[in-house]
Chains A and B, each alone.
Chain A
Amino acid sequence: MNQAHAAAATRSVTMVRTVIIVATLAAWEALALSGLLFRDVVPSLQAICSAVFRLLTAADFYFNLGVTAAEIGVALIIGGAGGLAVGILLGANRFLSRAYESLVYYLGPTPKIIFFPVMIMWFGVGSGSKIAMGAISCFFPIAISAASGIRQIDRVLIRVGLSFRASTWQMATKIYLPAMRGPLVNGMRLGLGVAIIGTLLAQTKLSNRGLGYLIIQAYSTFDMPRMYALIIVLFMLAVAANALIGRLARSRNS
């Protein structure tokens, strides 16, 4: 009885989802054909699908995707390592936490893109300034998560480590890092999201390569189907990267 009820609920949810998707696509196509907006502001679905196909079969897309991925990867390594080190220090030492944690906590939600002019002056107009933007963006969520993660560690585990006379390095690699994996993975997910945003926004502002540059180039040439295609592909990549980290975390936990 319950199984039948659950199956009926699943069916109705699927039906509602299908109706919403079909209605949205139909409304989009109707708007594209209506001429209510300026031409090409809302391109037809066929034009967007063709643009996605052209994008995914073009070599320059993969080159720019590689540039963006490399910049985000390096940013995540630098910002992540810095955030982890600062987070562990703040989480493990009450005095340092009281002295500096409010600074990290309050600087976290400031708009990081405003630091871009400074990053250009420090690291130039090339990849360095984009990596710096990504690193600054992901530093804060990772540091805050690491600090909170280290405080959540069971005191018994720490005492066990100390009673085995573990060195600082052993304590960090055998006790702290494995015990704080959950909050740390959440911090990495948040960090990845903001690193993607920081790097790509910097590319839209001043760059000659990368996916952010492709988006702003499509805007400048008013190639709307290409711009929609780029945004769709970018969102899918961001969601996929986020899901991948989540899945990795779950598989490690199980």
Chain B
Amino acid sequence: MTRARFANSAMAARAFGIGSVVVALGVVELLIRAGLINRFIVPLPSEIAAAVPRIIAEENVLHRFWQTTQEILWASLMLAGIGIALGALLYRFRVLRLACETWVAAMAAAPIVLMYPLFLVIFGRSATTIVMMGFAAGLAPVILKTVEGLSGTRKVLIDVARSFRLNRSQQFWKVLLPAALPSVFVGLKLGLIFAMINIVGVEFLINFGGLGQLINELAERYDLPGTYGAICFVVAVSIVFFDLTERIERWLRPIQ
């Protein structure tokens, strides 16, 4: 294989990427063992790898994972129900859309997660606070993408529905919503990612709930390999979640 062909090979590039990360971890391990990096600040990568099965067994990680998943599920149900309904409302009443769309867009850019102390006061230190934070953080993209999808419905489809004398409700359920589904799912995907980030973040900040709390607890116990291992576990879960939403979105795309 020539050098150019090697450089162009996607497989070789990925192998190089993974290999260089492994080599970097090996170098860090050597530097720590040589005493050049303080092991009370950065634990050995081999210790971190060994800590992952330990925290899975001892820290009830599966239960915590289920707790976080439940919070994400509740937030996503609320996002789908309320977010799509609000989007449909803005589409139905044009004046309302013109009046509110810029506000919703501003809400999407606002640092909503910083309101968590306020949510703590209103809902208490409970799962409700975490779910509501996730919901609030993910609401704006769901509304905006629902409006975008419904507005982008081809006029010929709406005309066909009218020629069949479908009433407003039938037009919405049989024509508008199916036509807008790809865009709605893009909004839901974005909303779910924002919700997941905020849910794990708030769990960590208020020391309550599932995976986010685990990191906080291990850090407070100064269990360094455990803390690093738990962070790696949460990052892996986030990546799997993100990848899953991407795959669902790709799977839904042919509908368009």
A interface residues, Cβ below 8 angstroms from B: 9, 12-13, 16-17, 20, 37, 41, 94-100, 102-103, 106-107, 109-111, 113-118, 120-122, 193, 196-197, 200-201, 204-205, 212, 215-216, 218-219, 222, 224, 227-228, 231, 234-235, 238-239, 242
Q: Chain B: residues with CB nearer than 8 A to chain A? A: 7-8, 10, 13-14, 16-17, 20-21, 41-42, 95-96, 98-100, 106, 109-111, 113-118, 120-122, 193, 196-198, 200-201, 204-205, 212, 215-216, 219, 224, 227-228, 231, 234-235, 238-239, 242-243
Q: How far is the CB of B135 from chain A (nearest CB, A)?
A: 16
Would you give the shortest CB distance from A98 to chain B, in whole angstroms? 3
Q: How distant is A28 from chain B, measured CB to nearest CB, in Å?
A: 13
Is A219 touching B120 in the complex (CB atoms < 8 A)? Answer: yes
Q: Are A111 and B238 in contact (CB under 8 A)?
A: yes
Q: Is the CB of B41 within 8 A of A111?
A: no
Q: Is B113 touching A197 in the complex (CB atoms < 8 A)?
A: yes
Q: Which residues of A contact B205 (CB under 8 A)?
A: 113, 201, 204-205
B residues near A212, Cβ cutoff 8 Å:
114
A13-B95, A231-B114 as given contacts; A99 in contact with B200, CB under 8 Å: no
What A residues does B21 contact at CB under 8 A? 103
Minimum CB–CB distance from B177 to chain A (whole Å) comes to: 25
The answer for the CA separation of A184 and B227 in the assembled complex, in Å, is 35
**Shortest distance from the beta carbon of A38 to any chain B beta carbon, whole Å:** 8
Question: Is the CB–CB distance between A193 and B111 below 8 Å?
Answer: yes
Q: How far is the CA of A189 from the CA of B100 in the complex (A)?
A: 22
B98 touches A13 (CB 8 A): yes
Complex-state Cα separation, A11 to B197, whole angstroms: 40
B113's partner among A20, A201, A219, A227 (CB-CB below 8 A) is A201
Q: A117-B216, A201-B114, A227-B118 are in contact. Are A99 and B201 (CB under 8 A)?
A: no
B7 engages A114 (CB within 8 Å) = no
CB-defined contacts of A20 to chain B, threshold 8 Å: 99-100
Contact (Cβ within 8 A) B234 A110: yes
Complex-state Cα separation, A159 to B212, whole angstroms: 50
Given contacts A16-B96, A103-B17, A227-B121, 20 further A-B contacts (CB under 8 A): A13-B95, A95-B7, A96-B13, A99-B14, A110-B197, A111-B198, A113-B205, A114-B204, A114-B215, A121-B224, A122-B42, A197-B113, A201-B113, A204-B116, A204-B205, A219-B120, A234-B111, A238-B111, A239-B106, A239-B110
Q: Which of A17, A94, A193, A242 contacts B99 (CB 8 A)?
A: A17
Report the separation of the CA atoms of residues A197 and B216 in the bound assembly, to the nearest whole angstrom. 19
Q: Which residues of A contact B42 (CB under 8 A)?
A: 121-122
Report Cα–Cα, A151/B22, bound state, in Å: 29
* Contact A196 B204, beta carbon cutoff 8 Å: no
User: Which A residues are in CB contact (< 8 Å) with B8?
Assistant: 94-95
A110 touches B238 (CB 8 A): yes
Select one of B98, B109, B118, B242 contacting A9, CB under 8 A: B98
- A-B Cβ contacts below 8 A, count: 134
Q: Closest residue of chain A to B109, judged by CB?
A: A242
A239: chain B residues at CB < 8 Å are: 106, 109-110
Nearest chain B CB to A44's CB is how many angstroms away?
16
**B84 smallest CB distance to A (angstroms):** 21
Residues of A with C-beta under 8 A to B122: 37, 41
A111 touches B197 (CB 8 A): yes
- Known pairs A16-B96, A109-B242, A114-B231; A98 contacts B13 (CB<8 A): yes
Bound-state CA distance A48–B231 (Å) is 39
Complex partner residue of B95 from A16, A118, A228, A235, CB under 8 angstroms: A16
Contact B14 A114 (CB under 8 A): no
Residues of chain B within 8 A (CB-CB) of A227 are 117-118, 121
Q: Which residues of A contact B235 (CB under 8 A)?
A: 107, 110, 114
Q: Is the CB of B121 within 8 A of A41?
A: yes
Count chain A CB atoms within 10 A of each CB in B20, B121, B231 and give the residue with the most: B121
| With contact pairs A9-B98, A94-B7 given, residues A111 and B118 touching in the complex (Cβ less than 8 Å) | no
Chain A residues, Cβ within 8 Å of B95 = 9, 12-13, 16
Give the residue among B41, B115, B212 with the most A Cβ atoms within 10 A: B115
Among residues of A, the one whose C-beta sits closest to the C-beta of B38 is A121
> Which B residues are CB-close (under 8 A) to A13?
95, 98-99
Q: List 6 A-B contacts (CB under 8 A).
A: A95-B8, A107-B235, A197-B113, A215-B117, A224-B121, A227-B121
- A-B pairs, 10 with minimum CB distance: A98-B13, A99-B17, A117-B219, A219-B117, A16-B99, A110-B238, A111-B200, A113-B201, A111-B197, A99-B13
Q: Does the CB pair A216–B17 fall under 8 Å?
A: no
| B residues near A238, Cβ cutoff 8 Å | 109-111
A109 to B192, CA, bound (A): 11
Across the interface, name the chain B residue whose C-beta is closest to A222. Answer: B121
